[in-house]
Amino acid sequence: GQQVMQIPQYQHVQEGEDFTTYCNSSTTLSNIQWYKQRPGGHPVFLIQLVKSGEVKKQKRLTFQFGEAKKNSSLHITATQTTDVGTYFCAGGGKLIFGQGTELSVKP
């Protein structure tokens, strides 16, 4: 069945450093969504990408959808302690979630 793999599983950064998480699917995706889950919280929807090669920005966050619509990335510029949490990608009509990347930020 369809699988969505996400790397890395953990990332520890110093505040101010950049952070990137990558998402890869075994099949072409109709769309990709990104969610953030704060420690002790529930996933919160960030954004959806639909078009091949699409790039969207939300302040310091940049989301990309690959040309083949099989991969995606989330890049955070100059991380802050408020960015701490687990970032999930999810794709396809039935929304298959990746395993998530847990980001910790050292002040």
Partner 1 sequence: DVKVTQSSRYLVKRTGEKVFLECVQDMDHENMFWYRQDPGLGLRLIYFSYDVKMKEKGDIPEGYSVSREKKERFSLILESASTNQTSMYLCASSLGTPSYGYTFGSGTRLTVV
Site residues, partner 1 (CB under 8 A) = 1, 6, 9, 31, 33, 35, 41-48, 50, 88, 90, 93-100
Closest CB to partner 1 among 13 and 47?
A: 47
What contacts 79, CB < 8 A, 6 or more positions away? Answer: 13, 15, 16, 17, 18, 19, 60, 103, 105
By beta-carbon proximity to partner 1, the closer residue of 50 and 68 is: 50
- The β-bridge relationship of strands 32-37 and 61-65 is unpaired
Work out how close the CB of 78 gets to partner 1 at its nearest, in angstroms, rounded to a whole number.
Answer: 25
Quick one: 8 or 16, whose CB is closer to partner 1? 8
CB of 36 to partner 1, least distance (A): 11
- By beta-carbon proximity to partner 1, the closer residue of 74 and 90 is 90
Residue with tokens 């953030």: 36
CB of 62 to partner 1, least distance (A): 18
Instruction: Name the burial class of residue 14, with classes exposed (0-12), middle (13-18) and buried (19+) by CB atoms within 10 angstroms of its CB.
Output: exposed
By the 8 A CB rule, do 19 and 75 touch? Answer: yes
